Structure 1
Amino acid sequence: MSLPIDSSSQQSAGGQTTVHHRSVELECSWVVPLRDSGARPPLFCACAGDGDGAAYSDLAAALPSDQPVYSFGLPALSGREQFPSVEQIAEKYVRKLRKIQKRGPYYLCGYSFGGLVVYEMALRLMEEGEQIGLLALLDTEHPSYSQTLPSAQRTDYYHTYLFHRLRKYGRNVIHGRIDQIVYDLFVLCRARCKKVAFRVFRAASRGLGWRIPSAFSSNELVLLAAWQAYRPPRYEGRLVLFNAAGRAPEYKADSTLGWKTCATGAIEVHVTPGDHHNLLRPPHARDFGERLTPHLGATVQPDGSDRGVGP
């Protein structure tokens, strides 16, 4: 197997070969090279729900030292001219990915919203005749998860969701945590109001050319709208899911988090320590890195042969 990356090799005094990828023009707001050298095919990570490409920094540090890692981010999204869809973001990322790695197989992972993006990237790369070495979704549920459930399970989902939330607030009432109750209500109302205001201003920007005020626009809201609008097409390749153990109980009904409805190939599910917010942060990042490593590309030697683990 040859390494399909624009690179040059240099042998150290100890005999180990390090691959230094050719310098390419990268926009800092779009591509963050967390590690741009190493003897393995690079791992490409798509932005999380806030568009931050640095969300994978701790994960990159936990991976083998010869594993290149590139993270795709997003610039600040606001104003009437920028309402990207998952498809548009994936198209942009694929163009930038192919400047770094000309040919497959490609190794892709996406946390939260980024899972949708790498799913769409894999589809586009396969349409172009490329191979996908890894498509990993990190705690990403299908955008229409509850709707993918059979009717009985869907009813259980909503009952469990309601019971779990009421129990959480009930504990605060029992323990007299009035300040926490007020804070939770404030956060909930503020988030709801911002979402409604964003939808109103977005409609106005499209119809009347108004600009969305910065107070009612953020990467989270823009990407949430993209999330809700995305309908994942059929994917016939292998899909690897890493689900946080601390997910809310209403998601226990389907270990694939809804992806079995559109991913028709093999689906491999792993449950990892942590919850949705700290899955990629210490101390869980190191454990997650160890679980992810066996799925990454093999080390490539100067003669083009493989060494080490790989899918």
Structure 2
Amino acid sequence: METLGYALLARHLPAEQPVYKLQASAPDPGQRPFTQAELADLSRKYIAAMRRVEADGPYCFIAMCEGVQIAQQMVLDLEAEGQQVGFFAILDTWVLENSQIRWRWQINYYQQRLRELRRMSFSRRVSKLKKALGTNLRTLATFEKPELSVLWHRAYWPDKDFQPPRFQVPVVLFKRPQQPSHYIDDPELGWGRRSAGGVEIHPIDFHHREMLREPYVGLVGKLLAQHLERWRHSKAELKSLDAAAGTAALAGQRMS
């Protein structure tokens, strides 16, 4: 679904703007969160693939959902190498860690499960309830949470020593004006604490799954094209300033 959405988005960008969709060949982690080792490995592979097409940056990124975690790691790795990143566009995605209120998240979790049950056939509903009952009985008997639940709780609410990663690149955030109630009150969706370059917010009233569908993808593309144009102008101005500084330095050397 995302691949088709990004193809639609590319159609709304200037014809001279190359767009590349990066997709891992490695197995998806499935229902569990990415490990840090997996993110580092994916970042390394994605950067290598990107450089085979465009050897030199600066690069601009756009991502959503789990892809944001991979893109964030790529930004961190590129900046650690001294590579400039143009901007980091994020589609309606919160930071993973410490962005949700735990008790509200639990209510939302069970509400979602109930909605899923209502959409199931009777036989599948019975099977699902039996499985859930068995899991809960084992949890009560052993006083241990299922492994998947533990992994997600650790990902969502890491220990007190957790320090959010910091990067220089500015964030361009496309988001719904009304966010789910189980998240904290933060209009920047947690990215302001991570980006030294700041967060520019574009509120668009859409369903999360429709942001890369018409007509919303057209609006995202239009705004993204404006950011690309502004970034090109700022890059050109910086080059001209560097050239002027180099000329002045050279003239100073000749005078001396």
Matched, 1:260 2:192: yes
- Which residue matches 1:12? none
Classify 1:183/1:139 alpha carbon distance in 2 versus 1 (closer, same or farther; 3 Å). Answer: same
- Which residue matches 1:296? 228
Q: Could you say what secondary structure the match of 1:69 adopts? A: coil
Partner Cα distance (1:77, 1:67) in 2: 30
Partner Cα distance (1:111, 1:252) in 2: 19
Q: Could you say what secondary structure the match of 1:96 adopts? A: helix
Q: Could you say what secondary structure the match of 1:236 adopts? A: coil
- Structure that is richer in strand per residue: 1
Partner Cα distance (2:76, 2:28) in 1: 28
- Specify the structure having the higher radius of gyration (Cα): 2
Q: Could you say what secondary structure the match of 2:94 adopts? A: coil
- Structure with greater contact order relative to length (CA < 8 Å, sep ≥ 6): 2
CA deviation string 1:167-225 (max 9, x = no partner): 9x7xx9xxxxxxx8622695xx59x97xx9xxxxxxxxxxxxxxxxxxxxxxxxxxx89
- Asked if 2 retains the 8 angstrom alpha-carbon contact of 1:145 and 1:257, the reply is no
**2:212 pairs with one of 274, 280, 284:** 280
Q: CA deviation at 1:245?
A: 3.7
- Matched letter for residue 107 of structure 2: L
- Which residue matches 1:233? 165
- Matched letter for residue 14 of structure 2: P
Classify 1:281/1:245 alpha carbon distance in 2 versus 1 (closer, same or farther; 3 Å). Answer: farther
- Matched letter for residue 293 of structure 1: A
- Matched letter for residue 185 of structure 2: A
Residue-pair matches, total: 202
**1:182 pairs with one of 91, 114, 118:** 118
- Asked if 2 retains the 8 angstrom alpha-carbon contact of 1:273 and 1:279, the reply is no
- Asked if 2 retains the 8 angstrom alpha-carbon contact of 1:239 and 1:267, the reply is yes
Q: Could you say what secondary structure the match of 2:61 adopts? A: strand
**2:99 pairs with one of 142, 146, 167:** 146
- Matched letter for residue 183 of structure 1: R
Q: Could you say what secondary structure the match of 1:109 adopts? A: strand
Q: CA deviation at 1:286?
A: 0.6
Partner Cα distance (2:192, 2:20) in 1: 28
Could you tell me the TM-score, scaled by structure 1's length? Answer: 0.53
Q: CA RMSD in A?
A: 4.2
- Which residue matches 1:86? 39
Q: CA deviation at 1:59?
A: 0.9
- Asked if 1 retains the 8 angstrom alpha-carbon contact of 2:86 and 2:231, the reply is no
- Asked if 2 retains the 8 angstrom alpha-carbon contact of 1:246 and 1:274, the reply is no
**1:102 pairs with one of 55, 77, 83:** 55
**1:69 pairs with one of 14, 19, 42:** 19
**1:129 pairs with one of 72, 79, 82:** 82
Classify 1:276/1:161 alpha carbon distance in 2 versus 1 (closer, same or farther; 3 Å). Answer: farther
Classify 1:163/1:73 alpha carbon distance in 2 versus 1 (closer, same or farther; 3 Å). Answer: closer
- Matched letter for residue 119 of structure 2: Y
Q: Could you say what secondary structure the match of 1:75 adopts? A: coil
- Which residue matches 1:271? 203
5+ residue gaps, structure 1: 1-49, 148-153, 173-179, 197-223, 307-311
Partner Cα distance (1:267, 1:78) in 2: 30
- Asked if 1 retains the 8 angstrom alpha-carbon contact of 2:108 and 2:182, the reply is no
- Which residue matches 2:176? 244
Partner Cα distance (1:163, 1:111) in 2: 21
Could you tell me the TM-score, scaled by structure 2's length? Answer: 0.62
- Asked if 1 retains the 8 angstrom alpha-carbon contact of 2:9 and 2:217, the reply is yes
Q: Could you say what secondary structure the match of 2:210 adopts? A: coil
- Matched letter for residue 139 of structure 1: D
Q: Could you say what secondary structure the match of 1:135 adopts? A: strand
5+ residue gaps, structure 2: 136-151, 238-256
Q: Could you say what secondary structure the match of 1:92 adopts? A: helix
- Asked if 1 retains the 8 angstrom alpha-carbon contact of 2:5 and 2:212, the reply is yes
- Structure that is richer in helix per residue: 2
Classify 1:231/1:109 alpha carbon distance in 2 versus 1 (closer, same or farther; 3 Å). Answer: farther
Matched, 1:115 2:68: yes
Q: Could you say what secondary structure the match of 1:248 adopts? A: coil
